[in-house]
Every structure is written in C-alpha cells, then in structure tokens.
Structure 1
Amino acid sequence: MERRNLTVISEFVLLGLSSSAEQQQFLSVLFLCTYLVTISGNFFIILAIGCEPHLHSPMYFFLTNLAFVDICYSSTTVPQMVVNTLRDTKTISFSGCLTQLFFFISFVNMDSLLLCVMAYDRYVAICHPLHYTSIMNPHLCIQLVAGIWVLTCLYALPHTILMAHLSFCASNIIHHFFCDLNPLLQLSCSDVSFNMLAIYTVGALLALTPFVCILISYLLIFSTVLKVTSTQGKQRAFSTCGSHLLVVVLFYGTAIAAYFSPSSSHTPVRNALSSVMYNVVTPMMNPFIYSLRNRDMKRALMKIICKGTDFYQQ
C-alpha cells in the first residue's frame, strides 16, 4: 500500500453538523450542555456507588464501569467539536484524527459489551437467584471487565492501523463532527475493500453478538417474570427491563444503521444523526435509566447531596 498519505495530508477539516455558523454555534452549546449532564450524571453514579457499602455488588460494579466508560466515550468527541466552534477552527491533525478514531472505537464497543454483561447479570439474578452469589463472584466480575478492555483495544488497533495506511490525496474535508470510520473511508483514494471486510466481519461479530445475547437474556428474564404471582413484582421487573431495552435498542439500532447498512445510504446527514444518537444521547440517558429509577441509587445520591449541602453550610 502507498504511504504517501502521511505527507500529502497532515490534517483534516471537520465540517460539523451544519454549514451555517449560527446553527453550528447553537448545536455546540447544546452539545456542551448535554456533555456536562453526561459527565455530572455518570460522576455522581460512581461517587454514590463508591460511598455506599451496600451497593458494592456485581450489578453496581458493572454500572460503575459503564458510567466511567460513558464519560470517556463522550469526552472522545464532544469537547473537540465545542473547542473547534469556540476557536473558529475546524481542523484536526492526521495523528489526532487517528487517535480519536482509536478511542472512539474502543469506548463504543466497551459500552456495547458492558450492556451485554449487565443483561447477563440480571438474567442470573432473576432466573437463578439461589446461585447468583456463586456465579457472579468478584473474581469473575473483574475478569469480565478486564477482558472487555483488552478485547476492545485489540479490536480498535487494527482499524486504526489500516486507516493509517490509506491514501488521502483527493480531499481532507470530513462531513462529520468527529473522525469516524465511514466518513474517513469515503475520503480515501485507496482500495478500502479490506477495511470494509474488517467492519462487516469482525465488526459485525463484535457488535451483533452482544446484541443477540442481550435479547436472549431479556427473553429468558421475561419468561421467568411471567411466572411470578406478585403483580407488583411483575410491574417492577417489566418497568426496569423495558427501560434497559429502550437504551439497548436506541444504541444498537443507530449503530447498526450507521455501520452495517448499504454504503450507498451513508449520507453525511444520516451518519451524523446516527452518531449523535449513540455517541451523545445514549451516554446521557444511561444515568437516568439505570440509576434514577433505582431506589437504592436514589437513596445513595440523596445522601451525597445532603452531605454536600451540610458541608457547604458549615
């Protein structure tokens, strides 16, 4: 493969979500507010779980990791867009673009696999409650999270290396607000068939396998809950699982539409809208859906807020 792309193009231009300067500024402010909500919401989740000993269980251990990944996930793309708008510059270096691509691929897949592990945890808790402690032991939980970090980084690395070896000799304008796979591949004047093969094989396996496992887990959960005689217990379980599935469908639906739909349908507007949903909206929703609907988390958060208020008054 040619390596002249390293000298031909040294930076890319990120056009953002709109060609209008006024709309771009409005969207940047909106994204900044969303980003601050995401950071604060997920930070309070980590703080609440860390300060409450009775929340030191596998479910909340995975939730802590999901909150941390969501912070990193949003921080990979949103601050860059806001800074570019405030500084009236839209450029990002070639190395910076590849770095952003690597971390984005890593964190988006971490989010996916953590959702899968959390669904499995709920399946064991509801369908096999007597064996929950022995199955979801601390050793297994740590192994699962460590394996997710290693697997996603190993998956992101080949994509980044393959992208680095492509030639970008026609244009350096990216019709997106961050360095994503499809917009970059559309700019390349090299043969990208191997890159697309990696997306549709390994990428599909890594993305669709957790999605299928989540659906199977919740189908088994629903079948078990239907056998419960308590109406209140059924309503609570269906309400919680329904909210979780809403996030899963939103996350996977937009991701699949962005990466696994026919290439002819990959318009800049469609790519941007899909990316906003699973890159900005979903990380912001997770704290509300996974925590604020949970009584134990509500109590833990209220304790932290009350302690902070008392400290401030003193």
Structure 2
Amino acid sequence: MSPLNSTFINEDIVHPDYFFISGLAGIPYTNYYYMFLGFVYAVTVLGNGFIMFMIYTDHCLHSPKYIVVFNLALSDLCGSTALIPQLIDTFLFKSHLISFEACLTNMFFVLGFLHMQSFTLTLLSYDRCVAICFPLRYNEIVTNKSMLVITAILWVIGAVAILVAVMFINTLSFCKATVINSYFCDHGPLHRMACNDNTPSTVIRWSHPVLIFWFPSLLIVFTYICIARALLKIAASERVKAMQTCTSHLILVCVFYLPLCFAFALGTIIHQNARIINMSLSTVMPPMLNPIIYSLKTEEFTESIKRLYRRTMIHITERKK
C-alpha cells in the first residue's frame, strides 16, 4: 500500500483512505439478484411503512404489543435502508470503493438495526409469555410506559454494543489488505485484515453473535417453555385460542433465526460465493416478510385493516354525493 492511498494516524496505526468491497463481485448472473433485491426493498418499504401507519393512526392498536410491532417495523425499514441501496450501488454500479469513515458508518447502522430486530423479537416473546402465563396481571405488568422504557433501553444497548465494536476497529492498523470479502462493511472480515494486535476486536467478534443471536434465541426458547407449561394447565379450547395468539410471533422467529442459523452452520462447508448469497438473503428477507406475516396472521391487525377499508369507502361515497 502506498502512502498516497493511506492515512497515517500515528507511527503505529495506519488507516486506508478506501476499502474495496468484493463480496458479490465475480458471481455470475448477479444482475438478476440485484433486480430481486430492488423488489425486496420496495416491498419492505411499503409493507413496514403500512404497518407503522396503521399502528400510528388506529387507536385500537395503541397497546404494548403493537408498540413492539411498530419498533420491529421501524428496525426492519431502517435496517434494509442501511443495507440494500448501498449493496445495489456497490455491485450493480461498480462502486466497490468505500471510504474508511463511510465503512465504519455502514457497519454501525447495518449491525445496529440487525441487533434491534433480534431484541424486538425477544421482547415480543416476553409480551406473549406474560399474556399467557399471567393473564389476570397482564395489564398491570405490561403497560405502554413500561414497554416504551424497555424498548428505549434495548436501543441504547444495541447502539452502545455496535459503537464499541466500531471504536475498536478504529484502533486497528490496515497496512496490507484492504479488500473486504463480504457484501457490506462487516466486522468479522474487516478485523481479520488488521496487521496489529486485534485481540479486543476478536473478543467482540465472538461476543456479538452471542448478543445478537444465541442469547435472544435462548430467551425466546425459555419463554415458550414457560408458555407451554402454562398451556398444559388450561382447558383445550382455551389452549388452542392462546396458541393462535403466538403463531405470528413464532413464524417471525423462524423467518429471522433459522436462515441465520443455517448461514452460521454452513458457513465453513459451502463455497464462499454461496455463503455470501446465503448471508445476504438471511438479512434482507425477514424485513420484507415480517409485515406480510403480521397482516395475515394477526386478528387485531386484520380487523384494523377492515376498519380502514370501511372508512375509506365511506369517505369515497360521501365525496361522490
């Protein structure tokens, strides 16, 4: 690396002016994949925007559960916006170079919103657990205020966790490789390119999957064990009704965690190109599917859509008179 394309912070640390994101470069027929990503992003924006609009305008949905659903839609929308347009610009329009500062910014937002998606699914499982295990005390335990406070705390935790990771990347020296073998400025590929001691970043690299994947998924499993025990104590007719309130959340959990689980499990045994495609699909598909699942599988939301339709038709009829 020549001094012309490197910025020396001090005599020990050197940061390149640019990184080269190589992830999808060289994979055949990727133009079709970019068209697919454009479709995914459009559906994601429309779907999550619609979810947020419905929750904001319909007072019947101003409940703790839908505060969390609104937060999930916001995280999905922002996370897709941080990732997909940059991904399309990088590979479709051959803008593979990204400045050091822009790379760290991209890492912060993509990973930060991914954290929030995982945290929010965990918070939804907590809501369902309290509703089924303590139905008489639900309104006392889970309030709008308490859910807003918990949501704010999770945003702070996620932001601080990613900020620490970015700060340690900023202390690394990149004196040799500047090619990021991923589809965005991912923490793992970036920290492995460092030519100075990257021990703190290595610790963060292994702790982040625990924070974003293993710990939330274990909490969700624990809440559903509690739910299953509570369901065994009630009548069969009520059991089916209670289980139906969990179906949308269970589908959301499967859509988010199972692709990531397979991506992590198959990461070392499949071809590098297949791994990158697999990981990118694992991060862009759940935000698109979540609003579709909630619109179709949640009775309260379906009723809200029907009320909106009736109000719209009444309004149109009155204007025609």
Matched residue of 2:26: which SS?
coil
Identify if the C-alpha distance between structure 1 residues 175 and 267 changes in structure 2 by more than 3 Å, giving closer, same or farther: farther
CA distance in structure 2 between the aligned counterparts of 1:178 and 1:116, rounded to whole angstroms: 26
* Contact 1:34/1:280 (<8 A) preserved: yes
- Residue 297 of structure 1 corresponds to 301
* Contact 2:176/2:195 (<8 A) preserved: yes
Matched residue of 2:115: which SS?
helix
Of 252, 256, 269, the match for 1:247: 252
CA distance in structure 1 between the aligned counterparts of 2:75 and 2:116, rounded to whole angstroms: 7
Of 176, 187, 195, the match for 1:189: 195
What whole-Å deviation, never above 9, does each CA across 1:264-308 have from its counterpart, x for those lacking one?
669743652443243101111211223321122123234445656
Of 10, 15, 18, the match for 2:22: 15
Identify if the C-alpha distance between structure 1 residues 282 and 3 changes in structure 2 by more than 3 Å, giving closer, same or farther: farther
* Contact 2:24/2:91 (<8 A) preserved: no
Counterpart amino acid of residue 244 in structure 1: H
CA distance in structure 1 between the aligned counterparts of 2:149 and 2:86, rounded to whole angstroms: 33
* Contact 1:2/1:165 (<8 A) preserved: no
Residues 50-199 of structure 1 correspond to what in structure 2 (within 5 A)?
A: 50-199=56-205
CA distance in structure 1 between the aligned counterparts of 2:122 and 2:109, rounded to whole angstroms: 20
Identity %: 29
Q: Indicate yes or no: 2:297 matched with 1:288.
A: no
Identify if the C-alpha distance between structure 1 residues 2 and 223 changes in structure 2 by more than 3 Å, giving closer, same or farther: farther
* Contact 1:72/1:107 (<8 A) preserved: yes
What whole-Å deviation, never above 9, does each CA across 1:67-90 have from its counterpart, x for those lacking one?
001101111111111223443322
Query: What TM-score does the superposition give when structure 2 sets the normalisation length?
Result: 0.85
Q: Aligned residues, how many?
A: 309
Displacement of 1:234: 3.6
Displacement of 1:61: 0.8
Gaps of 5+ in 2: 1-9
CA distance in structure 2 between the aligned counterparts of 1:50 and 1:257, rounded to whole angstroms: 35
* Contact 2:187/2:205 (<8 A) preserved: no
Query: What TM-score does the superposition give when structure 1 sets the normalisation length?
Result: 0.86
Select between 192-201 and 116-125 the one with higher mean Cα deviation: 192-201
Matched residue of 2:172: which SS?
coil
Gaps of 5+ in 1: none
CA distance in structure 2 between the aligned counterparts of 1:239 and 1:17, rounded to whole angstroms: 41
Displacement of 1:255: 4.0
CA distance in structure 1 between the aligned counterparts of 2:316 and 2:37, rounded to whole angstroms: 32
Displacement of 1:189: 2.7
Counterpart amino acid of residue 283 in structure 1: P
Identify if the C-alpha distance between structure 1 residues 164 and 236 changes in structure 2 by more than 3 Å, giving closer, same or farther: same
Q: Indicate yes or no: 2:28 matched with 1:28.
A: no
* Contact 1:17/1:24 (<8 A) preserved: yes
| Root-mean-square deviation over aligned CA pairs | 2.9
